[in-house]
Chain A
Amino acid sequence: MTAQSFETDFWKDNELRKTWEQIVPGEPRKTIPYTLTLEAIQKYCRVVNDMHPLYFDEAYAKASPYKGLIAPPAIHILLMFSCTPADDWMRSPGTVNAGQSWSYNIPARPGDTIRLEARALDKFIKKDRLFVVHDNVFFNQHNQVICSGRGWTIRPL
């Protein structure tokens, strides 16, 4: 996936995406490896106004326990979309984020090649709404876990 190739019109491939009815808990989602760049990290940081020098100041970061620039823990926000293809059901228009739970092991770094293992874990109906729970683990090129997490989304009808 490159920034140039990312389809920003989420309606375009919508017919290819699984509906709540078609999503099978336990079934792996298709994923694609992604090389995380410093530019992408800093673009994310700027929009959430998180300007910590560990993400921007190479000299500061080198002198820190991290020995170099890192990404903030919440970089999985970007990785979720950069590591999945256009027909992934997380892109279905109208998908509402109800909650998230993430655990962090080691930071992602600029230049890392990130791999995602992901699946739907559960689906249910609550208060007349269609929920899916998704389960995700991001790894770096050394097969080290960066972070793992679950999300609860309300699916479009």
Chain B
Amino acid sequence: MTPTPATFEPGHTVTGTPFSPTRESIRDFCEASLDFNPLHLDDEYMKGSFGKTSFGGIIMHGMNNFGVITKMLTDWVYEHRGVQRRLETRWKMPVKPGDTITPSAVITSHKDAANGRWFTLDVQVRNQRGEIVAVGEAMVEMPRAS
């Protein structure tokens, strides 16, 4: 049985839909986001080094990852008539074509306010090797139990 918002407690885990970027999906993200940075388009350019970092090929947009995390949060909160209020992310590793990333979030606390119950969550995104590619924090607002 799905818990009601009022019964979500710290430790409750939300898991998102896996996402597997391809060269085509990265190109499509360029078109949909209007972010045509050559980091995501140009293999020749990506053979170079970026300070201490060498990517070796095109990488997925960090904000594609942000969109995948957002889908996880909104799929969860919409079901309970809630609202995503905040998302903070830090990108730890690049995501490349052929990877599969899966977001998850764990409730760390909740606070009742006048009109809603606010939950904070720790967010992680792992690739198919179990490596953490992104971390973050989120905050959502759910209706208070009547």
Contacts and interface: CB of A to CB of B under 8 A. Distances in A.
B84 A73 contact: yes
A133 B75 CA distance: 30
A100 B66 contact: yes
A99 B88 contact: yes
Contacts of A74: 63, 66-67, 70, 87
Give the dominant DSSP class at A's interface.
Answer: mixed
B81 A91 contact: no
Interface string A61-73: 0000100000011
Interface in A1-53: 6, 8-11, 40, 43-44, 46-50, 52
B34 A49 contact: no
Given A65-B81, A81-B35, A97-B61, A50 B70 contact: yes
Nearest to B42: A93
Contact of B66 (A47, A77, A91): A77
B116 to A, nearest CB: 13
A144 interface: no
B68 interface: yes
A48 B68 contact: yes
Interface of A: 6, 8-11, 40, 43-44, 46-50, 52, 54, 65, 72-74, 77-78, 80-82, 91, 93-104, 127-129, 154, 156-157
Q: Which 4 A-B pairs have the closest CB atoms?
A: A81-B34, A48-B67, A97-B62, A101-B88
Interface of B: 17, 19, 25, 28-39, 45, 50-53, 61-64, 66-68, 70-71, 74-75, 78, 81, 83-91
